[in-house]
Amino acid sequence: MIASSPHPPCPPLRRGGVTRGCAAGRTGQREARSRRGLAPLELVLSLFFLLVLMALIINFGTTAPWHVRGNVAARHAVWRTLSARTGGAYPSPTNWWPPATIGLATARQFTTVPNDAVGALWSQGDLTQPALRGPMVVDPATGRQMLMNDRQYMEMINQIAIGSANYTKTLPLLANLRKAYIRPLQPVLDHQWRFEDMGFVYNNNWRIKGWYRIEADQVGDGDLMNLFMQYQMADMKIQQNPGIQALLVLDRDAEFPPWGLNSPDVYPTAGGCDASPQNVLNNIVMGNGGLISRIQGQRGGGRGGVPQRLAEAFINLYKLQQQFYKSQNPPNDAKVQQLQQLIDQLNQFIGTLS
């Protein structure tokens, strides 16, 4: 009797004239049976790394938007303080809520930045003119000098204002491993180029007083300082004049604003400037078309001067009031007649001027 084989016989294969059996096939089957159950084990061994990778992806996706918000918040922090702003009227962005904070970091000199190409490009050409960068402006004809105030209004390399944002965020996964520290900085170049930053309150203030030393106490000229003191004493006498209230009609009369008109300012301006006090007296004050002639008129009798201008201003006011009282229903004839008498008196007064 012949014992049966656990494996059925397989026909021989013939390739290239060589007969081969099925021993190789039986070997592959034995190897396959020996790896059964390893796939779950490999999954368990790799599951830890897969979960860590997934946690890192989730943490990155969570913190990346906060880094973008932090950059926006830091930029907002520096721009809200430019010019005359203090930042108080501009709160933090709505998507940057407490405990996240924003503010200004310590400003630093731009020259500390390596490869200062901005400062090198800025300090050339017309921008190096003494009238812009100082330290003084010299009259080539007389050699007289006018010093500049050291305000550095045109300095591109003065300093950098830096906005900062600060937020420490706990990661949603692997929280005990580390935290996300969001600390962006946003620098802005020196912005001291506006009249508010120059110490001026109104846009019509004289910039020249901020740029150059032209005040009497800054020039260092004793004679000019003496004249300035005399001017201050004269101005004080005018301010302390007991009849000063009677002069308010010349520039601050209270009758005009209630009727929608500005109070007329009939004070004439000097209309010029000169370094020589004698030239100021002869040309600007006493000369033809000077200050005195514009006060009392060309011929000195008031025509074309302050008396006529002030009288005409009141005539226009009374005519406006007449129109109002005529438009009432019924018209206020008594008031119209009273105003007409005032207009006639002023016209008679103008007729007496020469």
Length of the chain: 354
Q: Are 110 and 194 in contact (CB under 8 A)?
A: no
Residue bearing tokens 């200004």: 104
Query: What gap in Å lies between CA 181 and CA 170, rounded to an integer?
Result: 9
Using only C-alpha atoms, the chain has a radius of gyration, in whole angstroms, of 45
Q: Whole-model pTM?
A: 0.46
Q: What is the pLDDT of residue 2?
A: 47
40 DSSP assignment:
H
DSSP of 262-277: PPP--PPP-----S-H
Which residue ranges of the chain lie beneath pLDDT 50?
1-3, 13, 18
Helices and strands, number each (H, E), in the chain: 11, 8
**Which of helix, strand or coil describes residue 159?**
coil
Q: Are 253 and 263 in contact (CB under 8 A)?
A: yes
Backbone angles phi, psi at 74, to 5 degrees: -65, -40
Q: Name the burial class of residue 275, with classes exposed (0-12), middle (13-18) and buried (19+) by CB atoms within 10 angstroms of its CB.
A: exposed
User: Cis omega (within 30 of 0) on the bond before 257?
Assistant: no
The identity of residue 260, as a single letter, is G
Query: What gap in Å lies between CA 106 and CA 318, rounded to an integer?
Result: 62
For 182-200, give one letter per residue: b (16+ CB within 10 A) or e.
bebbbbeebebeebebbee
Q: Are 195 and 141 in contact (CB under 8 A)?
A: no
Chain mean position to CA 173 = 43
Contacts of 213 (CB under 8 A, 6+ apart): 146, 147, 148, 149, 219
- Tell me which residue of 179, 188, 178 sits closest to 158, measured CA to CA: 188
Query: What gap in Å lies between CA 64 and CA 56, rounded to an integer?
Result: 12
How many CB atoms are closer than 10 A to CB 100? 19
Query: What gap in Å lies between CA 213 and CA 150, rounded to an integer?
Result: 10
**Token pair of 214 as six digits:** 């032209």
User: Cis omega (within 30 of 0) on the bond before 264?
Assistant: no
Query: What gap in Å lies between CA 350 and CA 354, rounded to an integer?
Result: 9
